[in-house]
Amino acid sequence: MKNQTKTMFESAFAEDTYKGLTSYPKYLLSKYIYDKKGDKLFQQIMDMPEYYLTSCEFNILKLNATNIAEIFSSDSGFDLIELGAGDGKKTKIILQELVDKKYEFDYLPIDISQNVLDELEHSLEQEIPEVNVKVQQGTYFKTLEKLAEYNTRKKVILVLGSNIGNLSHKEAVDFLANIAGAMSEEDMLFMGFDQKKDPQRILDAYNDPAGITEAFNKNLLVRINSELEGNFDVDKFLHWETYDPETGTAKSFLVSKEEQQVEIRKLGIKVNFEAWETIHTEISQKYDDSVVQWLADEAGLEVEKAFTDKDNCYKNYIFRRK
């Protein structure tokens, strides 16, 4: 029976939505927030004063661009492969530096959203036309399989924005181990990690008074309605954020304000919600040096260098394969 059900799913989104909403407790995968509307909302989030991650990393890259570009460079050129490229706002700091210094490289931005990649490619044509861009649409785990194919010269794998924070520690170790497996001795990984800090500052970053983060998380329900013929009333769900300073885990939930039933016609299901029942939508993990070192050890990587802002709010680490 299970196999018959599987054949009815017209997309990974449909299958993952079915799995998440028929599980207990219920969950939805945050990667599906990112459609055209979700991309726009996330760009708004990155511009919010409360969302410190963007400005912290932006400043780190700006202050250290010359040093970082020199570390990335190679006499025979290199491939700069960015996972989760987004709008490339921060990456452009490094790209401009690499172009100014006349380092030879190809830029390969990878993202789940084709819409974002199209916008990034277009903006680079306008702003830094010297960059040789080869966009690739896909999820992290699919594209990781292709990484090993880039083996004729040095590759620098770039993961900005603390995207690793959306993974549990076990998933993060698997993710890093897959990257390590695709790396040669001369390759490097440059990755951002949001650091543990005042818990209130973290909560404020995911619970802004303008309600942009709420709209961002609720976009999962909007997308289910439009693509899977659901009838979610988004106003009947509350956006709720928690942060555990012991584990460094921030979690986002959508909470049903009342007992209700939601029909999703393309999945052929009716989903019952108790009053105050949750849908877990996202985690945002925070780190310190010891946790990052542990993740690296588990994954077969070693920390070579770290760049940080003046308050140690955020760090970008350089890893090499052990």
Give me the sign of the Cα torsion angle 218, 209, 314, 81: positive
Instruction: Give the torsion sign (CA, 40, 42, 44, 46).
Output: negative
Q: In whole angstroms, what is the distance from residue 203 CA to residue 219 CA?
A: 20
Element (H, E) at 178: helix 169-182
Residue ranges covered by each domain of the chain: 2-32+200-285, 52-195+287-321
pLDDT of res. 218: 98
Question: Which pLDDT value is given to residue 148?
Answer: 73
Q: pLDDT 10s per residue in the chain (322 long)?
A: 344 444 578 999 999 999 999 999 999 999 999 888 998 999 899 899 999 999 999 999 999 999 999 999 999 999 999 998 888 999 999 999 999 999 999 999 998 888 889 999 999 999 999 999 999 888 766 777 777 777 789 999 999 999 899 999 999 999 999 999 999 999 999 999 999 999 999 999 999 999 999 999 999 999 999 999 999 999 999 999 999 999 999 999 999 999 999 999 999 999 999 999 999 999 999 999 999 999 999 999 999 999 999 889 999 999 999 9
pTM: 0.88
Handedness of CA 86, 127, 106, 101 (dihedral sign): negative
- Homologous superfamily of 52-195+287-321: Vaccinia Virus protein VP39 (3.40.50.150)
Quote the pLDDT of residue 178: 92
Name the β-bridge partners of 109.
Answer: 82
Residue 151 near residue 117, CB atoms below 8 Å: no
Q: What's the N-to-C CA distance of the chain in angstroms?
A: 46
Task: Report CA torsion sign: 134, 135, 137, 140.
Answer: positive
- CB-based burial, 247-284: b 16+ in 10 Å, e otherwise: ebbbbbbbebeeebebebebbeeebebeeebbbbbbeb
